[in-house]
Amino acid sequence: MDKLIKKVIEDAEKKAEGIIGKAKETLNEKFAAEKENIEKEYEGKLRDAKNRIDKESEIRLSRFRMDKEKELLALKNSFIEEVLKVEEKKFNEYLNKNMKDIIVSACRELGGKNYTVKIPESAEDMAEIKDVKIEKDKTLRDAFIISAEKWSIVFNWEHIRVMMEDELKEKAGKYLFNVKNGQKNTGN
């Protein structure tokens, strides 16, 4: 009987070792498969996170560049405006110094007769110009107005600037920044 019990115990131990071995093998296979799935999921999430971060970085960098380009453009425009202010001052000085000659020339160019020219009250007295009536106007400054029955022409910096603004800005930009039509001049 001891032999039988010993044999049964040995058979049971062998059976148990076989069951435990199979269980360990199955467990190791499941563990390896689950580990592989987790690693794939991790790599996918890592790749997605990296792509998202790269896109966010690109967007931030683009925004930063646009903001800096806007600031630079605003600065350049302020420089151009300063140049235009200097030009306005020079224009007004020239206009006030040469107003009579400019009026005579403009009236001659216009042809015809019986014009009325309004000048600033502060303008020097002008001897009567042939076929032109001169009137002083308290509201005018750095300007004059030539008018006839059906039309009038205002001659001042604002009107000149409106007519020539694109050309003035292009010349100022080219002078200040070596730029033409918004593009850096490379000399080609």
**Residue 93 confidence (pLDDT):** 93
3-state secondary structure the chain: CHHHHHHHHHHHHHHHHHHHHHHHHHHHHHHHHHHHHHHHHHHHHHHHHHHHHHHHHHHHHHHHHHHHHHHHHHHHHHHHHHHHHHHHHHHHHHHHHHHHHHHHHHHHHHCCCCEEEEEECCCCCCCCECCEEEEEECCCCCEEEEECCCCEEEEEHHHHHHHHHHHHHHHHHHHHHCEECCEECCCC
Contact 178, 138 (CB under 8 A): no
pLDDT of residue 187: 46
- Write out pLDDT tens, residues 152-166: 889 999 988 888 878
Segment 50-65, tens digit of pLDDT: 999 999 999 999 999 9
- Position 40 scores a pLDDT of 94
Return contacts of 80-87, CB within 8 angstroms, 24+ apart: 80/169, 80/172, 80/173, 80/176, 83/172, 83/175, 83/176, 84/161, 84/168, 84/169, 84/172, 87/168
> Mean pLDDT per 10-residue run, the chain (188 residues)?
83 87 90 92 94 94 94 87 89 90 84 82 76 86 89 89 80 71 49
How confident is the model at residue 142, as a pLDDT?
A: 92
pTM for the structure as a whole = 0.58
What are the beta bridge partners of residue 184?
Answer: 179
Token output for 5 = 């019990």
Half-sphere exposure in the Cβ direction for 33 (13 Å, CA): 6
- What confidence score (pLDDT) does residue 112 get? 66
